[in-house]
Amino acid sequence: MAKVVIDPVTRIEGHLRVEVEVDNGRVVDAWTTSTLFRGLEMIVENRPWMDAWHYTHRVCGVCPTPHGHNSAISLEDAAGVTPPPKARLMRNLLECAQLLHDHVLWFYILNGLDYVDLVSALSAKTSAPTLLAVQARLKAFVDSGQLGFLDNGYFGHPAYKLPAELNLQLAAHYLESIRVQAVASEAEALLGGKFPYHMSTPPGGYSTVPHQDQIDQYEAKVREVRDFIDAALVPDLLAIAPYYVDQAAIGLGHGNYFSWGVIDEDLQGGDPYKRLFPRGAIIGAHQGNLSVQPVDQEQDVREWVTSSWNTQYEGGLHPWQGITGPDFTGSDGIAEIDRNGRYAWEKSAHLKGVPCEVGPLAQMLMAYLSGPADHLAKKLIDDTLKAVGAEGNPTVLLSNLGRVAARVLKVKIIADKTLDYVAQLRGSMAGGDMEFYTPVPDNPTGQGFSGWDAPRGSLAHWSTLEDGKVKHYQIITPSGWNFAPRAGDGRVRGPVEEALVGTPIEDVERPLEILRTLHSFDP
C-alpha cells in the first residue's frame, strides 16, 4: 500500500491537496482537501444589499461572471424585482463570452498537458512552416534548461499515447489558445465594462444601453473565437480521443449528476427548465437510471460539515439556515490530514440525500436527455458516441473521457448560439425595445435564491435581506459539490474522491493518471 500526495495540485483555479492510497497499481481510497478558507458569505453580511454582487464576484477570478449573475438574480428574488427580458439577453451574452474564454483555456492550458507530451513534439517530422516555428520555440525552451511551470511535468510517462506529430499540432494550438481565450475576455469586457468582474448587470438588469459599435466588436470577437473552436478545438478532441478510449472506464464516480441550468431561452419568465442547458438531476446513472428529475432547491439541497473546518452543526442544513465560519483543527501547513475527522475547508453539498457531480458533463446530459428534440447537444453527443464506437450508449460518457468531450461539445454549442443571441439583440433594438433595467426598492426585506451554473458546474446563491442590508448569505460553488469531503450518514465520499477510486497508477512517483481525473473536473 502506497500513499500518494499531490500538494498543491497545479493548473487549477484555487488551492487543492489530494491524498490517495494505491494498492496493486490502483487507487483504493482518496481524500480531497481544499486548503483555502474563502468566507465571502461573512464579508457581505450587514452591508448594503446592492453591494453584495460586487463582493461575491470575487469568489473566483476565472469564472466571476456567473457569481455576479447569481448574486444579482438572488437579490432580485429577495427584493421582488423582475428584470426586463433584454436584461436576461445581455446576461446571456456576458455568460457566453465567459464560457468561450473558460472552456478554451481549460482544454489547452489547464487540462491539455495531461495528454500532450510537449517534449515528444521535438521529434515530430513536419514541413509545415508554422509547425516548424513552434518546434523551434519548444526546442529553445527545453534546451535552455529553464522549463518554468513545465519543470515538474511527467513528460515521457508511458500513459502519453499521442504520436509526436499530433503532440506538435496540439502544442501549436496550445500557444494559439492563449491569444484566443483573451479575445473572448475582450468580448465580455466590451459589454460588461471590464473582465474579470464585469460592472454592468446589477440587481434590476443591465445598467446601460449598448451602442452599435460595442455590439459589432463583440460579434467580431465571438466569430474569431468560434472559428478557432471549429478549426482547432473540435478537431483536436476528435484527433486525440481514439488514443485515450481507456479514459471511458476511468473516473466513474457515484453516477449522480445535477445542474441548475444556464443561459436563459425564456427571456420573459426565466424558466430554468427551458434554459439552453436546462435544470435537472440524474440519480443512479450507473444503475441504468438516465431519467431527468426536477430539482426543488428548498427540499433537495443540504450542506454538511462532517469533515469540514467549519463551525460545526448537526446533520445537513439548507443554505438559508447554513453557517459559514472557520474552525481549523488541522496541522500547520496541512502536512497531514485526519482521514477519519475533519480535513478540508470546503463544506459538502448533497442533493436529494446524495453527493452529485456537477459540470459540463451534467449540463450536456440534461440537454441531451431533457432538451428539445432539435437541441444541438443531441446530434453532437450521438456523433461523438459513434466516433468512439459506442453508438447509442451514452453511459460511456460518465467518465474522464466524457468530461473532456462534454466541455468541448458544450463550447461548440455556445459559440454558435452566441451569434444567435447577437442577432436577437439587434432585432429587438431595431424594433424600438430599449428597456434594459427595472428600478429596485431602497430598503427591501426578503429571501432570495438563484441557481445559474458556472463553467465548472452548479453554482447557487441564497440571500436574506432585512431593511436593505444583507442579514445572511450563502454560496454553494461547484467545488462544494465536486470536491466535497466525506459527509452525510456514513461519511460518504465526495464525487471526486469516489471518481479517483479505481484509477490505475503506473508510477506512484509520477501520478499522471490522478491528475487526469482531477483536471477532468476542472478544480
Is residue 384 in a domain? yes
Q: Tens of pLDDT along 440-490?
A: 999 999 999 999 999 999 999 999 999 999 999 999 999 999 999 999 888
DSSP structure string for 255-287? --EEE--BS-S-TTT--GGGSSB--EEE--GGG
Is residue 501 in a domain? yes
Q: What is the rounded distance in angstroms from the CA atom of residue 54 to the CA atom of residue 59? A: 10
- Report pLDDT for 149: 65
Domain span including residue 107: 2-329+341-520
The total domain count for the chain is: 1
Q: Tens of pLDDT along 169-208?
A: 999 999 999 999 999 999 999 999 999 999 999 999 999 9
- Report pLDDT for 407: 97
* pTM of the entire predicted model: 0.96
Across the strands, what pairs with 473? Answer: 463
- Report pLDDT for 127: 94
The amino acid occupying position 103 is H
- Could you tell me the CA-to-CA distances from 330 to 121, 287, 337 in Å, in that order? 43, 37, 7
Average confidence (pLDDT) over 361-375 = 95
Is residue 336 in a domain? no
Is residue 334 in a domain? no
Q: Give percent above pLDDT 90 in the chain.
A: 89
- Report pLDDT for 358: 98
Is residue 389 in a domain? yes
Is residue 124 in a domain? yes
- Report pLDDT for 398: 96
Across the strands, what pairs with 279? Answer: none
Q: Backbone phi, then psi, for 153, in 5-degree steps? A: -70, 160
Count H helices and E strands in the chain, helices first.
Answer: 15, 10
Is residue 335 in a domain? no
Q: Tens of pLDDT along 130-174?
A: 999 999 988 888 888 777 666 667 899 999 999 999 999 999 999
| Cα angle 158-163-165, degrees, rounded to a multiple of 5 | 140
Radius of gyration, alpha carbons of the chain: 23
CATH number at residue 366: 1.10.645.10
